[in-house]
Chain A
Amino acid sequence: MKTRYVSRFTPSLMKPEDLEAIFVQREDLARRILELIRESVLTRSKHYTLLIAPRGIGKTHLAAIVYHRVRAMEDLRDKLLIAWLREEEWGVMSFLDFLLRIFRALAEEDDELAERVETVYGLPSDQAEGTAAALLKDFVAQRTLFVIVENLDDLFDGLGDEGQKRLRAYLQENPFCTILATAQSLFNGISLQTSPFYGFFRIQHLQELSFDQGRELLRKIASFRGDSELASFMETPKGRARVRALHHLAGGNHRVYVIFSEFVTRGSLDKLVDPVLKTLDDLTPYYQARMARLSPQQRKIVEFLCDRRGAVPVKELASRCFMSQQTASGQLRTLREMGYVRSDAVGRESYYELREILMRLCMEVKNHRGQPVRLFVEFLRLWYSRAELDQRLRLLPPSTGVERECLLEAMRAAEGESQDPRIMSSESALASYLKDHDLSHALQAAEELASLRGRGRDWAMQGILLGLLGRCEEALACTEQATELDPEAGYWWLGKGIALGNLGRYEEALSCLERAAGLAPTIDLVWLFLGILQSLLGRPEEALSSYERAVELDPRLALAWSARGEALLGLERYEEALDSIKSAKQLGLTIPGLHFRLARCLVALRRWDEALAALDIALGRFGDAKESDLSHTVLLVRNVLASTVDEGTLAARVRSLVVLYARHKILSALALGVVANIPTLRSPIIGEGRARAWRDIWRREAADREDLRLAARLLDAAVRYRESEDPRILLELPAEERKLLQELLDVGKADEDSE
């Protein structure tokens, strides 16, 4: 494995290519900022952007990306100066200090400037500002100065009201600056109507990482470090569940993701405990510094939330902290803006909790030094599933006191907990993905649930999703697991039945569905799929009866109405079929087959014009000649052949079909429909004269349509063979066509050999 450095606290120290390698979530924003800088350089417009986000959300990373990309723009090089002020410009107490910091940043690449700035230091302070301001204007000249200021809130604190006013006036009078600034939250210097920079910046609130973006970050870190173990672990359900735990701990904070990326793959406790404790210890000063930024009242609130662990309503918090509800609400609102807490509304009440659980854990390291049981118990509970905890406990030698104690506590906590936060997170993700019809991500969430909780329903859901994604063997394995865990749940048998059906194992599937129907006779879908299988196994009457049951249980189940229509079509009960299909259509069903069925039904009912209109819709919306649609064309051609005995009418109908399919550019599908119906011509219902007429019609149509010629040739050979049964007719065909026709006519190869 390569050992490549990912800075936890100072991304500005990283190389540009390394920063790019692990950049996630904000590519669009970075591009947008670059566009604005470009416009600021090339025109007299000047943009001022302020990025707002709590610590650790990636502000510096984004600023560094922008800095390096702007530097790399060759065409702007001689038109642009860049001053990237240091992240912590503690010493800025006046506008003059600010100017001097800009000079310091610029002088890093210009020795001559450094000498010119020296003259400023020799002046009395009241003259130095004017001289520095004039020097900067002179030095920038016709160029644009791009200033990157981090922690603008701190800088403005140092500048004070007067310094801010001087800066504002300077920017107004000398419009050569474009600014990219960052701050942890909105602050008075920009949000008070009376402040000089009120409404001055284009404010962009940066969002925390979502779960998927967090995974993307870890994937990129794995690739950057060449850590193939992490990369492959991330793709497993266990890996994803671990990332959910991390997400829960990190609260979407980029920095915490980076720090914990090293631990994600740690399997054994002994390799995890010490590094994690050490990391929590390392992080403590970081969180202490964050606490130090707060007012005493805010600290009191944060400390209280650390102790309470869960979410607390404002009223309770106010009473526990001895402050009025109004004060508590105001401080909580500020803390939320600063990224310390999050809130959830329950009815009319707001509940607040710490946004980053790690902050609480780190505070506990400080408060319970030497006895890190409680925090580590919580960490373990999140990091490992119950099964894993149990397994590790069994493998642990009896002598390992603290670890055993931690594990036992974690087990107890896991058992006593009504809901595991990771499971809640996975369930919510699953519901959201299903709502968006994002099956592959839904499958990932389902896999995590199966891994974390492993109930029958989790395996069944995974199986259903795998089936929908066409991964039939895996789907079957999952649904088998579900029925083994919970053999009395009808739904899981339904899942298994569908999986078997998808694999073409219809008899076994039928038996599963019959079992499902016995266990859960009120589930409409069970009857629908049972009907489909009965239909596939050539039991149309039983299928119809199952569909009847399905629509009885749920009259809004459009798929069941459509399937019922198909069954009735097969039983030549066309009027009822038409009603059923129309019901499905009224319920909003838009599957391709429905329109084909409608067309077939109308053909059978001799309502030719309506049939053509329905077919036109079917071909227009779905006529991409998919295999599934082809069967409809085959049946349609058969319906047309049976629709009339009058040769002229038949010819006219075929002509309409040909024109329609040609218009939709899927004539080849129609040709296949004709070929697939060749066996029909052997039926005694169709006399020789009718067969010849059918052939002649298609020969005429094929005369000027290349796509139909093969079908016409095979049809001709089939009709002639039917009349004479002379094998030489077949031999006239090229070998591949002959083979196809032999299969269609069910003429054995032996006949050919005997010749």
Chain B
Amino acid sequence: MKANPGGQIDPSEVIGRDALIHRVWSVLERQSLVLSAERRMGKTCVVKKMEAEVPEGILPVYRDLERVRTPLGFVELVFQDVKSYLSLVSRTAKRVRALLSQLSGAELGDVVKFPSIAAAHWKTLLTKTIEDLAEHQERRVIFFWDEVPLMLHNIKRSKSEDAAMDVLDTLRSLRQMHGDLRMVFTGSIGLHNVISSLRDAGYANDPTNDMQIIDVPPLAPPDAEELARRLIEGESMSSNDLDATARAVASGVDCIPYYIHHVIDKMKQRGGSVSVSTVDEIVSACVTEPLDPWHMRHYRDRIDIYYPPNEVPFALGLLDALASSLEPLKFDDLFNLVKSSMVTEDREMALRVLRLLGSDHYVVEETDGTYRFRFPLIQRWWRYERGLPL
């Protein structure tokens, strides 16, 4: 087992996710779900592992939707998958074929590319596709749709906000119509970001309120240590204290698997024996290196991208205050600190942005009502990047 930052991980080598996967399967028996997590937490690995180790009677269908720019493009992919499934059980998608024949007079070949005339009828096509599936569903088909928020973002840009809203509403309606239909949404940006921007354009629905939201957390410390240990061994690196080194790797990067792979990869590049001090050096270097090898700058950049301009100063003020504090802060103290860096009395706005920062995994609220950075690693980087004192 070798360090593999960014690459595809063999599902059999995905460690520490069994309990989470068990929970996801169990939720899927009842309802669809949104798999939510900070970037690099390993959502796609979880989905791929589920796809590879599927229980009896379930057919998982994985699709990366990042490339989809139109509702019709989305329906084409869904139809392809349904068609493949139906051909497995010697059935055909009669309803869709009939509709397409009506629309264009054309017969479908092996490869699906709907005629352009079908664009206006994408909702009907999607509905009929799911109806064809529902009629012949011998095994439960679960759609694992990765990068759903990006697809919606694309549709919003290339078509309209209404089109993106329509897609969300149609999917929700299909889930309600077909009790057995299951969908899993995942994405590298939060679905709430997209929905929030649609709300600004007048969208009033809550299109995923029938779906359970499951958070993919970092690995539990023993699992993170186990991953680090296996990678150190897999890379044939020597260490005078393997357990302590693995522990240092896990804690140094807050048990986030992507960074664990990165640290081990860097250790391998360095060569020689590894130790706790090697880990400290690598983590410090990666956090402060101008070339930003861990791509942490996006924690700063995405504030400008996903937060409306009037919220940006609040987001920065709140994060700056939390980054400089060793202890979690109560909201009043936090707001006071924000006010020392900007002129505002808008407490409601500060609270709203703080909640958004929570949804975006920057901030976590403790049980005693205090707030802190969710990941000390990101807090450390933020402090460095923004030139803040501790």
Instruction: Using CB atoms and an 8 Å cutoff, list the residues of chain A in contact with chain B.
Output: 28, 32, 35-36, 39-40, 43-48, 124, 126-127, 130-131, 134, 162, 165-166, 168-169, 172-173, 175, 178, 186, 191, 193-194, 196, 198-205, 337
Contacts and interface: CB of A to CB of B under 8 A. Distances in A.
B44 interface: yes
Interface residues of B, number: 44
B222 interface: no
Contacts, number: 96
B62 interface: yes
A205 B13 CA distance: 28
A200 to B, nearest CB: 5
Given A162-B69, A169-B64, A202 B5 contact: yes
Interface stretch (B97-105, B296-304, B335-343): B296-304
A26 to B, nearest CB: 12
Nearest to B40: A199
A604 to B, nearest CB: 43
B244 interface: no
Interface in B1-39: 1-2, 4-13, 39
A127 B111 contact: yes
Contact of A173 (B2, B62, B109, B298): B62
A175 B48 CA distance: 10
Looking at B52, B63, B64, B110, the one whose CB has the most chain A CB atoms below 10 A away is: B64
A196 B189 CA distance: 12
Given A193-B295, A193-B302, A173 B8 contact: no
B113 A203 contact: no
Contacts of B268: 32
Contact of A36 (B2, B67, B297): B2
Contact of A45 (B7, B40, B67): B7
B11 A48 contact: no
A165 B77 CA distance: 15
Main secondary structure of the interface of B (DSSP, over half): loop
A45 to B, nearest CB: 4
Looking at A168, A169, A193, A337, the one whose CB has the most chain B CB atoms below 10 A away is: A193
A201 B258 CA distance: 12
A43 B5 contact: no
A199 B13 contact: no
A490 to B, nearest CB: 44
B179 interface: no
A193 B40 contact: no
A271 to B, nearest CB: 44
Given A44-B8, A45-B7, A45-B9, A127 B113 contact: yes
Interface string B96-136: 00000000000001111100000000000000000000000
Contacts of B11: 44
Contact of B112 (A40, A130, A196): A130
B8 A168 contact: no
Interface in B51-65: 52, 62-65
Contact of A199 (B64, B111, B295): B295
A169 B65 contact: yes
A414 B52 CA distance: 70
Contacts of B269: 32, 204
Given A47-B4, A169-B66, 13 more contacts: A32-B269, A47-B2, A47-B7, A169-B64, A169-B67, A173-B62, A193-B295, A198-B295, A198-B298, A200-B7, A201-B6, A202-B265, A337-B291
B7 A202 contact: yes
B305 interface: yes
Contact of B113 (A126, A201, A337): A126
Contact of A46 (B7, B52, B291): B7
Contact of A191 (B5, B12, B271, B295): B295
B293 interface: yes
